[in-house]
């Protein structure tokens, strides 16, 4: 009979417990950030840019000691394929993750808006590096758990309409995506027109995701006497419009002033030579392709190490990377300021941060209790694709 059976079972058990404890301590040390974006969308590059921006920031933060006195940040990515129901399901799942302090959203405002009740029910800090619908921030919840470092429609519409007006297009036609995002832009346009009588909308047409042609709407707008088209949509439908317009005689091609989501995909690749035949300008918030700043160089070094990225010109949606980077850095500051992973404290801390010099701008401060928009209209400018397929601000 074995008088010391623990010799054979105790040691492995102790080793196992030590390993488990070590693992648990390691897991407990991590602070999680979620990304609930449209990775499964075939033409979207905005989610890639957002993920890269977050990872660059996380790498920098973790290399500099992490947050909360040494805890590493880690990104958890979920693909909602731009479907609100999936986004909501992912928000619900992520909200149950221990030490997850915030969740970044993607490009699709609809997917974000669908989850707003859940976000506030779960007290989940929502960080928006792209989705532009005004209602994401102006959601009516108090306390408001949504924070945006990005463009909003309320800024994009004046930029687009102002650009058109400045170019002498006193009559424009609206071509809008038939979603809450498109309708929000429509409302903003109506408000803009009420305040700016120098420009008028002669026709408004809507299209759906998945439409195979936008020519009927285009012809209608052109027939109505529009001198330019103000387009609110994402890259697949914008590419359809550009390619269809490029097939028209030059005199029949109207200038297109677009919201910024045409840059949510590899638009030059999607349109090819057609892009050169169409006068397309779109909204941007940050010039990364031609940025020569020291900070951009530092980021590129990290990006090169992480993604073997030689140049930011490889980034198809540079605003997404820039926004996500700055927002992650701001979040890290908020976590440290909160002193814990408690989401409410982190949310409160986001409103209480001081000045921060980010990649895009100096945030002084990034957010306040009354302002959950980190950028401002001054950050908004018009840009176009140059012959190299890079986004270049219009001077």
Partner 1 sequence: MTGHPDGKESSGILGALCPKILCGGDIYRRIVASMTLFAVCVILLIGVVSYACVDLLIRKNMRLAMESTASQQALKLSSSMDSIQESLSYLSKNSLLINSIIDTSGSRSYIDSFMKSYRPAGHGSVRLTLCDFQGSPIASNLATPASYNNPDLLQQTVEKCLPFSTVLSRRGADNCAWFLLAYPVVWNMTARSEGVLIAEVPIGEMIDAQLFAMGNKNNGTGFRMLSGGRTLFSRNFVEGTGLEKIELPLSTAAPLNNLGLSMQIENHRRISLWWLIPAYAVSGGILLLLSTILARRISSSVTFQLRALGAVAQRVAESGSLDTHADVAGPDDVKALASSFNAMIDRVRASNESLERRVAERTADLSVANEELLRINLERELANDGLREAMNKISTLRGLLPICASCKKIRDDKGYWNQIEVYIAEHSEVDFSHGICPDCAKELYGKFLD
Contacts of 110 (CB under 8 A, 6+ apart): 82, 84, 133, 179, 180, 181
**Would you call 151 exposed, middle or buried from its count of C-beta atoms within 10 A (0-12, 13-18, 19+)?**
buried
- Considering only residues 178 through 207, tell me which ones interact with partner 1, judged by CB under 8 A: 178-180, 183
Work out how close the CB of 91 gets to partner 1 at its nearest, in angstroms, rounded to a whole number: 13
Smaller CB distance to partner 1: residue 41 or 78?
41
139 binds partner 1 (CB under 8 A): no
Smaller CB distance to partner 1: residue 114 or 336?
114
Smaller CB distance to partner 1: residue 220 or 352?
220
**Tokens standing for residue 159:** 């930029």
Work out how close the CB of 327 gets to partner 1 at its nearest, in angstroms, rounded to a whole number: 22
Work out how close the CB of 212 gets to partner 1 at its nearest, in angstroms, rounded to a whole number: 8
3-state secondary structure 292-347: CCHHHHHHHHHHHHHHCCCCHHHCCCHHHHHHHHHHHHHHHHHHHHHCCCCHHHHH
Q: How far is CA 264 from CA 18, 177, 234, 327, 356, in A?
A: 47, 15, 7, 18, 27
Q: Which range touches partner 1 (CB under 8 A), out of 76-84, 251-259, 312-320, 349-357?
A: 76-84
**Of the residues 75, 76, 77, 89, which one makes contact with partner 1 according to CB under 8 A:** 89
- Considering only residues 309 through 328, tell me which ones interact with partner 1, judged by CB under 8 A: none
**Would you call 149 exposed, middle or buried from its count of C-beta atoms within 10 A (0-12, 13-18, 19+)?**
buried
Strand partners, 298: none
Site string for partner 1, 235-254 (x = CB under 8 A): -x------------------
**Of the residues 49, 113, 221, 330, which one makes contact with partner 1 according to CB under 8 A:** 113
Site string for partner 1, 19-58 (x = CB under 8 A): ---------------------xxxxx--------------
140 binds partner 1 (CB under 8 A): no
**Of the residues 82, 124, 232, 375, which one makes contact with partner 1 according to CB under 8 A:** 82
User: Do residues 257 and 172 touch, judged by C-beta distance below 8 A?
Assistant: yes
2 binds partner 1 (CB under 8 A): no
Q: Site size for partner 1, by CB under 8 A?
A: 28
Neighbours of 386 (CB within 10 A): 13
**Of the residues 60, 74, 138, 211, which one makes contact with partner 1 according to CB under 8 A:** 211
In what side-by-side order are the strands of the sheet with 125-128?
73-79, 31-37, 100-105, 125-128, 146-148
81 binds partner 1 (CB under 8 A): yes
Residues that bind partner 1 (CB under 8 A): 40-44, 81-86, 89, 108, 110-111, 113-114, 177-180, 183, 208-212, 236
């Amino acid at each position: 009979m074995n008088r010391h059976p623990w010799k054979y079972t105790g040691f492995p058990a102790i080793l196992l417990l030590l390993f488990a404890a070590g693992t648990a301590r390691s897991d407990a040390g991590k602070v999680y950030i979620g990304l609930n974006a449209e990775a499964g969308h075939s033409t979207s590059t905005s989610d890639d840019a957002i993920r890269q921006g977050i990872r660059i920031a996380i790498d920098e933060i973790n290399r500099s000691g992490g947050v909360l006195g040494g805890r590493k940040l880690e990104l958890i990515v979920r693909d909602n394929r731009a479907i609100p129901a999936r986004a909501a399901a992912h928000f619900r799942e992520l909200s149950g993750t221990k030490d997850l302090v915030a969740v970044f959203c993607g490009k699709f405002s609809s997917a974000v808006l669908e989850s707003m009740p859940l976000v506030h029910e779960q007290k989940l800090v929502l960080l928006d590096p792209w989705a532009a619908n005004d209602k994401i921030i102006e959601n009516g919840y108090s306390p408001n758990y949504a924070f945006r470092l990005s463009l909003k429609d309320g800024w994009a519409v004046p930029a687009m309409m102002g650009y058109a007006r400045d170019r002498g297009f006193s009559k424009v036609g609206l071509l809008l995506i038939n979603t809450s995002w498109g309708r929000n832009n429509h409302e903003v346009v109506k408000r803009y027109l009420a305040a700016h009588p120098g420009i008028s909308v002669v026709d408004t047409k809507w299209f759906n995701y998945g439409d195979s042609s936008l020519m009927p709407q285009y012809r209608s707008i052109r027939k109505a006497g529009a001198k330019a088209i103000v387009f609110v949509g994402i890259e697949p439908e914008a590419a359809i419009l550009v390619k269809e317009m490029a097939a028209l005689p030059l005199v029949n091609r109207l200038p297109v002033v677009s919201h910024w989501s045409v840059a949510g995909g590899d638009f030059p690749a999607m349109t090819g030579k057609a892009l050169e035949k169409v006068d397309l300008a779109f909204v941007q918030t940050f010039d990364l392709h031609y940025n020569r700043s020291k900070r951009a160089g530092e980021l590129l070094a990290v990006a090169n190490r992480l993604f073997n990225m030689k140049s930011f010109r490889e980034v198809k949606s540079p605003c997404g990377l820039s926004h996500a980077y700055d927002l992650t850095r701001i979040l890290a500051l908020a976590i440290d300021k909160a002193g814990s992973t408690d989401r409410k404290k982190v949310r409160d801390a986001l409103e209480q941060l001081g000045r921060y010099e980010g990649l895009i701008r100096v945030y002084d401060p990034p957010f306040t209790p009354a302002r959950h928009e980190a950028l401002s209209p001054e950050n908004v400018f018009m840009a176009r694709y140059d012959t190299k397929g890079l986004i270049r601000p219009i001077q």
